[in-house]
Amino acid sequence: MSTIPICQYDAEVLANREIGPGLYWIDLLAPEITRHALPGHFVHLIASDVSEDSSRQTWLRHTPLLRRPFSIAERDPERGVFGLIYRIVGGGTEILATRRRGERVDVLGPLGRTFEPVHAGRPVIMVAGGVGVAPFLSLAQETVRNGRARPAEMTVLFGAATAGLLSGEEKFRALGVDVRLATDDGTTGHHGLVTDLLDRELASSPRRCAYLYACGPTPMMRRCQEIAREAGIDGQVSLEGIMPCGVGVCMACVVACTAPGAAPDAAPGAAPDAAPDAAPDARLSTPRYERVCDAGPVFDMQEVVM
C-alpha cells in the first residue's frame, strides 16, 4: 500500500479536446493530486456529472456506475494541473468526452505503484501501444525536469493502428527524446508492429537499452516480455484492469503473477511445497493474484503472466 496521500477532488476541467480520431486529452485542475503524482500513478474518476445539484436521482447520476482509471500523462505542478489521454471505448469514456471546460470531474488519486525512475548511465527504451503512451509522457517529462538523465538516454517506440492515433509523439520530440513510430496501416513510420522496432533496436544498438518499459495492448506487452527475457534486460510493464474500487479493496482487478512475492495479501492458497522455480504451468496451477490498482499498475516485467 502506497504511503502517498490519496486525495479526492472535484477537479475543474480546463480543457478537453479531441487530438485524434476518438482520442482525447483532458486537463484537470487538482493541485494536491498533481503535487504528489509520480510517473506511473493513475487517477480513478467518475466520468458523469455527479454534483449534488444535479436534479437526477442518485443512481441515474451514477450511470455508468463505476469509476474509470487513467494513467497520468503530464503534470504542471505550478498550475496544479494534470493531463490524461483517453480513447472512447465505452459508455464511460463517451460521457467523459462530453464534459466541458469549467465543469467538475470527481477524481481520486494519485493511486498505485510508480515506475522505477530513469537515471543517468542506464539508457532505457519505452515501448508504447496506443493510449499506453500516457505514463511514458509523464516518465520522460519528469526525468528531463529533474535532470535525472539526459533526453538522449531515453528512446520511445510508439505504435498505434494509424497515424492519427500517435498524438503525443510531438511532446517527446519537444523534450529531445528520440521517438520511433509504427502503425498497423503504414500511414506513418514502420508498417507493422512496434515490437518489430524493439527487435531491430536491440539488434543494432544493444547498449542503448539497459532497462525496458512497456505499456499497451496485452499481445504487445507479452512480446516485450519475451524479448526482454531473451535479451536479459530488466524492465517494467504498466497494466490496466476492470477496476471497481481502485484502492486495493475489491480484489477485482487482479493479474496472475508467476513468482511468490513479498506481498502477504496474495499468498497462494495451496501447495506450500511448490518450488519457487517450478515450471510456469505448475506455478499457474496455484495462482498468485495481485491487484493491478495496489500492487501495480506497474509490475516487474517478468512477474506477470500475460
Partner 1 sequence: MTAQPDLTVNIGALELRNPVLAASGTFGYGSEYGRFVDLSDFGGIVTKTLTPEPWPGNPPPRAAETAAGMLNSIGLQNVGVEAFIRDKMPYLRNVDTALIVNVGGGPVEEFVYVTERLSDCEGIDALEINMSCPNVSGGMDFSTDPGRAAELVSTLRGITELPLIAKLTPNVTDIGEIARSVEEAGADAISAINTLRGMAVDIRTRRPMLGAVTGGLSGPAIKPVAVAAVYRIANEVAVPVIGIGGIMSGEDAVEFLVAGATAVQVGTATFVEPHAGPSVARTLAEWCAASDVPSVRSLIGSIRIPSQEEAPCHRS
How far is CA 203 from each of CA 142, 194, 198, 208, rounded to the nearest angstrom? Answer: 29, 15, 8, 10
Candidate residues 85, 253, 295, 301; the one interacting with partner 1 per rule CB under 8 A: 253
**Dihedrals φ, ψ of 198, to 5°?**
-65, -45
Interface with partner 1 in residues 271-290 (CB under 8 A): 286-289
The x, y and z cell numbers of residue 269, run together, are 492458497
Judged by beta carbon, residue 6 or residue 210, the one nearer partner 1 is 6
As measured in angstroms, the least distance from the Cβ of 117 to partner 1 is: 24
Verify binding: residue 41, partner 1, rule CB under 8 A: no
Counting beta carbons within 10 angstroms of the beta carbon of residue 17, is it exposed (0 to 12), middle (13 to 18) or buried (19 or more)?
exposed
Candidate residues 14, 88, 231, 251; the one interacting with partner 1 per rule CB under 8 A: 251
Candidate residues 233, 247, 295, 304; the one interacting with partner 1 per rule CB under 8 A: 247
Give the Cα separation of 268 and 284 in Å (integer).
10
Verify binding: residue 120, partner 1, rule CB under 8 A: no
The x, y and z cell numbers of residue 201, run together, are 533496436
Q: Which among 70, 134, 144 has a CA at the least distance from the CA of 107?
A: 70
Candidate residues 94, 226, 230, 265; the one interacting with partner 1 per rule CB under 8 A: 265
Give the Cα separation of 44 and 253 in Å (integer).
13
Verify binding: residue 300, partner 1, rule CB under 8 A: no
Verify binding: residue 231, partner 1, rule CB under 8 A: no
Judged by beta carbon, residue 231 or residue 284, the one nearer partner 1 is 284
Q: Give the helix/strand (H/E) hosting 134.
A: helix 134-146
Judged by beta carbon, residue 171 or residue 291, the one nearer partner 1 is 291
DSSP label of 115: P
Tell me the helices (H) and strands (E) count for the chain, helix number first: 8, 15
Interface with partner 1 in residues 57-116 (CB under 8 A): 58-59, 62-67, 106, 108
Candidate residues 31, 241, 260, 261; the one interacting with partner 1 per rule CB under 8 A: 241
- What is the binding site for partner 1 (CB under 8 A)? 1, 5-8, 46, 50, 58-59, 62-67, 106, 108, 241-256, 264-270, 286-289
